[in-house]
Amino acid sequence: MVSKSRANRIAERIQEEISEMLIFDIKDPRVANAYITDVTVDRELAFADIYIFSSSGSGVAEDVVSGFRHASGYLRSELASRIDLRTFPQLRFHWDPTPERADHIEKLLDSISYNDQDGSEDGIAEDA
């Protein structure tokens, strides 16, 4: 069992290496617009959970995740050669909806701000 800080360092390194492989090595069109949002590694180094997102949106989530799962053997062996660990964790890929949720919340806040600028200032001035 490794410490939390070591697990975090390993997760960061996995994220960096997969991101680099996405740019230079992986040619699968299913993962063309994908990027890694987060990686977590359990303290036993048995599993690495990789969270992915695509700029194409959630409509392609299943295709992107299946593309990564298809390439998982290649990714794992390539990562094992780049990162020196006794045993390399199994890779599990998950769709990360966080960027879409953040964009939706940002649009809601912008619309609230826009509505406040249009009508609320007059209402406040009348009440005062």
pLDDT, tens digit (0-9, with 9 covering 90-100), for 43-61: 999 999 999 999 888 889 9
Structure tokens at 48: 């690495």
Alpha-carbon distance values, 95 to 21, 62, 125 (Å): 18, 8, 47
Contact in structure between 43 and 4 (CB atoms under 8 Å): yes
- pTM score of the predicted model: 0.81
For residue 3, count other CB atoms closer than 10 A to its CB: 9
pLDDT of residue 2: 92
pLDDT of residue 119: 60
Structure tokens at 21: 């492989």
The CATH number that domain 4-96 falls under is: 3.30.300.20
